[in-house]
Structure formats: structure tokens, C-alpha cells
Amino acid sequence: AQTVTQSQPEMSVQEAETVTLSCTYDTSENNYYLFWYKQPPSRQMILVIRQEAYKQQNATENRFSVNFQKAAKSFSLKISDSQLGDTAMYFCAFRDFGNEKLTFGTGTRLTIIP
């Protein structure tokens, strides 16, 4: 069974700074997807970014980028120029090709300090 580990329960950073959230996962599969979801205080789950395991290039979405290290089974999220609206819980999630369910990590609570 796949597992996803987020070792940072809480982080805080000053507005406009850069922050990196860590995620590691364990799988025997070769083809899979990785995701970062954001859950603001409203509780809505919002997809931030996704990465296909077969792609070597790291995904980027505006201020959000990932560092995907397949051999190390590591998938970190970098938020540049952090904004107050980035304050939220961030969940790392895994899905393999043959299975549509998402397996989530325990989350990192990120606070952006004005």
C-alpha cells in the first residue's frame, strides 16, 4: 500500500518570503501522479499543482513549483513570494495509474505572517 508522509506539521513564514513544504512517499509503482492540495480556513480542497511521475521536468504553476525526486521518492512544494492568502493546510497526495483514489499525507499547516 502506498503511504505519504509530511514531516512538518506546522510552518510559518513572513509575507513575500519563499517557503518549501516537504513530502515523501512510498510505492512500488513506477507510474503515478503526485498532487499538492490546499485547504484554507473555508475547508475547501483546492488543487495547487500536479506532477506526473514519468515527467522529469518539475511542474510549475505561477508562484508554486515542485521539486520531484523520483529515486528519493520526494515531492516538495515551493511557494515563492508568499502571500497572506497562502495561509492554509497543504496536503500532499498520491495516485497510481491503475487506481483513482487519492492517498493523502497528514498535512502541513502553513501560516503567512504579515
What is the contact surface with another protein in residues (CB under 8 A)? 33, 37, 42-47, 50, 52, 91, 95, 99-107
Smallest gap from Cβ 81 to another protein, in A, equals: 26
The number of residues making up the chain comes to 114
Smallest gap from Cβ 94 to another protein, in A, equals: 11
Smallest gap from Cβ 14 to another protein, in A, equals: 28
- Which residue's CB is nearer to another protein, number 20 or number 103? 103
Return the half-sphere exposure (C-beta side, CA atoms, 13 A cut-off) of residue 47: 10
- Which residue's CB is nearer to another protein, number 37 or number 82? 37
* Counts for the chain of helices (H) and strands (E), in that order: 0, 12
